[in-house]
Amino acid sequence: MTLLHLVRKSAFETSDFQQCIDTLAFGDQVVLLDDGCYNMRHTLMNKLTEVMVIKVHADARAIAIQAGTLAISMAELIDLTFKHNSVITWQ
Maximum C-alpha span of the chain = 35
Binding mask 27-56 for another protein (x = CB under 8 A): ------xx----------------------
SS (H, E, C) the chain: CCEEEEECCCCCCCCHHHHHHHHCCCCCEEEECHHHHHHHHCHHHHHCCCEEEEHHHHHHCCCCCCCCEEEECHHHHHHHHHHCCEEEEEC
Interface with another protein includes 24 (CB under 8 A)?
yes
Q: Which is nearer to another protein, 67 or 82 (CB)?
A: 82
Q: Which is nearer to another protein, 9 or 51 (CB)?
A: 9
Of 15, 41, 47, 50, the residue at the interface with another protein (CB under 8 A) is 15
Binding site for another protein (CB under 8 A): 1-3, 6, 8, 15-16, 19, 22-25, 33-34, 57, 74-75, 77-78, 81-82, 85-91
